[in-house]
Structure 1
Amino acid sequence: MKIIGLTGNIASGKSAISYILKNLGAEVVDMDKIGKQIQEVNYKKVIEKIEKRFGKEIIENEKINRKKLGSIAFSDKQALIDLNSIMIPLMTEKLKRTIDENRKKETKVLVVDAAILFEANWDKFVDYVWVVYVPRETQINRLIKREKITQEEAIMRVDSQESIDEKIEKADVVIDNSKNLEAVKLKIFELWNAITTSI
């Protein structure tokens, strides 16, 4: 089994790339969804830890208000570090179990879709790192539209992550997602063929 770590900064279009890979036959692990599941699926200990660190106003109807939590975490570097220290160990355990399950199923290609691939040290689990890139201005505009947040909030979210230049330096492959969709698809097909012919 080959494992691709698909990363890139927030609103770079990783989901669109992972969708193309899924259609080609890859299994995709969306680490953002795993994070949401850990917060939502009756993880009382997680809720207690987050409430203790971020306050009761974060909890509504015994669930975490992710929008409120996000606005705090992305505007305060220490808050983001604290949130990651709660979430990343649990997400890592789930990722390891998912990788084991896919090995047993004899999955050929597994994609780990994670914005914080490097920050969480998940790159150690993958064979290839693909970094998805778009210009900073595109990220900010997409975030404002998608999350219905202010420009200032969007900039804070973009700036809260490791710089894209640092990610590109560590990448095996860089996908420029500011190009037209057909050019992006063609690049992915070529990469896919190179990987699958070696399995």
Structure 2
Amino acid sequence: MSQPITHDGRVLGLTGGIGSGKSAVAAIFGELGVPVIDVDRIAHELTAPGGAAIGDIRKIFGEALIGADGALDRAAMRRLVFGDVQAKHKLEAILHPLIGIESQRRCRAALASAPYAVLEVPLLIESGTYRNRVARIAVVDCREETQIERVISRSGLGREDVQRIMAAQAGRAERLAVADDVIDNEGPPAHLRPQIEALHRKYLDMLAAKKSLAGG
């Protein structure tokens, strides 16, 4: 995802580690009428049967990484890239430019009719170019042990598998260091909505103030 998004200060980057609760937060933004562009969903579409990335994946990695339905065999690819850094880079070289183009297109379309949009990117900070693509960063935060417990309960992965995934992501301290806003998701689900509603009002107020200063 190397291509910057022309956001005019109106794209909020939403990120957080695995198991932090990004999807729950994104859902609440959606309920408030904010368009949400989910980068993971774009990646799934690109690697679905007939997806734009399938041809290059087949060419680079062979039929062994393509399932019987014509989609990427995600489990097989996950095993490969965890043990082979070069394979990981090759996959990223295929997916990231396509994801960048499509996320940019969707952001522009969303901003044609909405005050701002949310770009949900699990590895936003890890990309190294996050400040080119979003105006602000909201980090969904909880304890690392909470992340582990949540992922184990929903996925069936073992603790070591989850810890390996977390080790490949930015650490909690690194995410918090660059956050413009922190969403605390350590508590019960009911604790989330008031925070998102407050942030939504804050963002709308900031945009209104910016428009007023510009004389618009």
TM normalised by structure 2 equals 0.82
Deviation at 1:177, TM superposition (A): 0.7
* Of 107, 112, 115, the match for 2:122: 115
Distance (Å, rounded) in 2 between the aligned partners of 1:12 and 1:54:
32
| Aligned residue in 1 for 2:167 | 159
Within the alignment, does 1:176 sit opposite 2:184 as a pair? yes
User: Gaps spanning 5+ residues in structure 1: where?
Assistant: none
Distance (Å, rounded) in 1 between the aligned partners of 2:95 and 2:152:
25
* Of 58, 71, 88, the match for 2:96: 88
Q: Of the two, which has the highest radius of gyration?
A: 2
Distance (Å, rounded) in 1 between the aligned partners of 2:95 and 2:23:
21
| Aligned residue in 2 for 1:138 | 146
Deviation at 1:122, TM superposition (A): 4.1
TM normalised by structure 1 equals 0.88
By percentage of residues, which structure has more strand? 1
Deviations 1:139-160 (A, max 9, x none): 2222223222222221111111
Deviation at 1:93, TM superposition (A): 0.3
Deviations 1:106-129 (A, max 9, x none): 211211111011233344221210
Distance 1:77 1:12, change over 3 A: farther
Deviation at 1:6, TM superposition (A): 0.3
Contact 2:111 / 2:117 at 8 angstroms: preserved in 1? Answer: no
Describe the SS at the equivalent of 1:74: helix
Contact 2:140 / 2:185 at 8 angstroms: preserved in 1? Answer: yes
Distance (Å, rounded) in 1 between the aligned partners of 2:67 and 2:151:
24
Describe the SS at the equivalent of 1:111: strand
Q: Could you tell which deviates more after superposition, 127-136 or 75-84?
A: 75-84
Distance (Å, rounded) in 1 between the aligned partners of 2:58 and 2:160:
26
Within the alignment, does 1:189 sit opposite 2:178 as a pair? no
Distance (Å, rounded) in 2 between the aligned partners of 1:8 and 1:165:
11
Contact 2:10 / 2:111 at 8 angstroms: preserved in 1? Answer: no
* Of 58, 65, 73, the match for 1:58: 65
Q: How many residues align?
A: 197
Distance (Å, rounded) in 2 between the aligned partners of 1:155 and 1:77:
18
Deviation at 1:58, TM superposition (A): 1.6
Q: Which amino acid aligns with 2:120?
A: D
Contact 1:92 / 1:122 at 8 angstroms: preserved in 2? Answer: no
